[in-house]
A and B are shown apart, each in its own frame.
Chain A
Amino acid sequence: MKRFLRFSLKSSCCSTIIFNMPEAVAKISTVGLNLHYGSFHALKNVSMDIYARQITAIIGPSGCGKSSLLRVFNRMNDLIPGAKVTGSVTIDGSDVYDKTSDVTELRKRVGMVFQKPNVFPASVYENISIGPKNHGVAKNEWDKIVERSLRQVALWDELKDGLKKPGQGLSLGQQQRLCIARALAVEPDVILMDESCSALDPESTMKIEDLMNVLAELYTIVIVTHNMEQALRVSDYAAFIMLADGDGENKAGTLFEYAPTIDLFSNPKHKYTEDYITGRFG
């Protein structure tokens, strides 16, 4: 959907470029976000808003920090030794990195689907019910939750008679949808998808892209993709993270341009962005 946007550019040498949309509601906000892996500066001064119930695509060349940015939102970087986050990251206004907050609650709200389907070696039913089970949901609720989640990913009719079958016996496309269902079972607000279609064939990819559009009615979705056509097809907003600028200087992890997808792709503000989108590098 097209939205009227307004840029405000603050000019100073270490500039923060803030992109915001007055009409849209920000679900996740970062201000001056910096991520270090030990001495490696992976994300530099990223300030952006992720809008609620929109699909935001994070694009950029390999190694620019897209997945790292995604992992900031559900604190999966915490599992990497030496990872350090500074700056502010808020979801619905509350600080994600607050030391007193429960990271497991955060990850319930912000679900993640990975590049390769990582279905657990258990039945379809057990895969989906594992989340609710560990979050204290009563056993008699699980049947309902399993059905609801599978319906949301359009797998219910296919699998309803084989819920006890091993999840790893499904096709790759089905497995990835199962992973999405698994994430949905814990009732998140946000779904992060880290190149979730890159291991799949075109037909499964299409099914999942359709799924994304349906889910965006209810959930905030942030995807990382290296597929420009996909970004164009599904996303409302696109954030371009760069690796090095035109002079070859290392700028990995810098948010270079952020706009509604249509605008970014038809009218990129910088040549560099245009070069990437049109495939001249990447």
Chain B
Amino acid sequence: MKKILPLIFTALAVIFAGCAKEHHEAVIVAGSTSVQPYAEVLAEAFAHIRPDILVDIQGGGSSAGIMAVDTSVADIGMSSRLLKDSEKWMWHVEFARDGLAIILHPDNPVENFTIEQLRGIYAAEITNWKDLGGKDARIHVITREEGSGTRAAFEELVMDGKFITPRAIVQASNGAVRQLVSNDKNSIGFISLGLVDRTVKAASLGGVAASRENITDESYSLYRPFLFITNGAPEGDAKIFIDFALSPEGQRILSLEGLVEGMNP
């Protein structure tokens, strides 16, 4: 018995060693956790076309991802915000846009807001639907948790420095927000446009409906740019991956996931 054990161990070692794929170094993609799930979907599809190229997606946040590219720790950076002036020197492409929809219960008579009204609602300055032409009922404000990229986008695009009311209900995912709004007639929330379904309705902003077209032509202003960033023009495996993202196939995949096509497809 004792003689067989080392034999078994050696066999296992050989088998596992054989499992290591022979390929180039992985393409490291790091950055926004909002972009991350979509990058992963792209990577999965990419693996079918180029199984020899390993794409490794990591989170860490937009800023961390940009810095990682700057210091050449990562090959590609993901960002869900526009580049700051100090960062603009890096190569970047907006490969998609993530629309931000303001959702209401389908039975809510209110259908349209101005940005000022939206801000007022979320700052708890407007507290009753009747002030907006709706029923006489308190507005139940729903927001995402503080670390959420969606929330950060909302604060930046809508709140203009005002704080979201501490009395707002906090839910930890887009899906949870949507479910809550679909059940509560007096609620309001914000989610990714791609996740709007028949259980809720998306309000229009200043008369402009929340639609892919209106985001593409920027008449609907609530959206986040999804950027890929590289240190210098992309090359090698990183370029192949980014090209895939920008290709019709890549864009089709992204739009199936709910994203809107970017400005430079």
* A–B proximity contact (CB within 8 A): no
Residues on A close to B: CB < 8 A?
none
